[in-house]
Amino acid sequence: KIHFDRIDYHMLFFLLLTQSMGLELYTNKMCPFAQRCTIALGLTRLEGKMVEVNLYGSSGFTKKELKKIEKEAGLEPCGYIPVLRLNEKEVMRESIACVQRIFEEAGENYSYEEWFSDVEESLRREGKRLVLSGQSRSEAMDSSLAQLDLILAHNDFLDTEGPGVIDCCLLPFLWRIDQSLDLRREKFAHLANYLDRMLKKPYVQSTLVSSWWWWW
């Protein structure tokens, strides 16, 4: 028999509230930016709910529902992914910031090297240009890949604390470059070996799909 007069309602409310505030990632399996966060969740083993967003249809969880979540959190409702909700009030966008927040939530250390921003932007920008032009390689792309290859000649991972935020953020694009452009595997052997090794990791392998977007 339950004695209701003995229940600590403050504790009960706290437990119910924390259960309802579990981490949620609004994602789409085809998007490289969302893939960054999925890899980070798998790597850190941080538990959370994955919500697949139907970006171009009217069934399931759609952009309309996602915009409601953004608006309720005080964000401009855009319907972009990924969106990371850590609790009722903390909702964030921008994939790199989301990956960093996942590592922080998991209590994991990570580094943020000065070179990362330039290389990350270059891979995305040059990747887009090459895909749209029908080319497979360029000097600008080779320059970025060479920088990564040099790092991997002396380290097992791109993040020196590794594997970390930098690895999670660059792997989706390195995989796409290898799939549809030219990774220059013979020239950048350290990078090619790293990619092959990382693609076998369960937390990366589980995010690979047969149909995907570049999505800049």
Coil, helix or strand at residue 83: strand
**Cα distance between the two ends of the chain:** 59
Domains and CATH numbers, the chain: 4-105 (3.40.30.10), 116-205 (1.20.1050.10)
Tell me the pLDDT tens digit for each residue of 111-168: 788 899 999 999 999 999 999 999 999 999 999 999 999 999 999 999 987 899 999 9
Lowest mean pLDDT among 9-18, 85-94, 172-181: 9-18
Please determine, for residue 24, whether its predicted confidence score (pLDDT) is greater than 50: yes
Q: What is the largest CA-CA distance in the chain?
A: 75
The CA distance from 33 to 82, in Å, is: 7
The CA distance from 105 to 34, in Å, is: 18
Q: Respond yes or no on whether the N-terminal peptide bond of residue 202 is cis (omega within 30° of 0).
A: no
**CB distance 98 to 86 below 8 Å:** no
Please determine, for residue 9, whether its predicted confidence score (pLDDT) is greater than 70: no
To the question of pTM greater than 0.75 for the whole model, the response is yes
Give the pLDDT of residue 97: 95
- Crossing angle for the helix pair 32-44 and 165-180, nearest 10 degrees? 130
Give the pLDDT of residue 21: 52
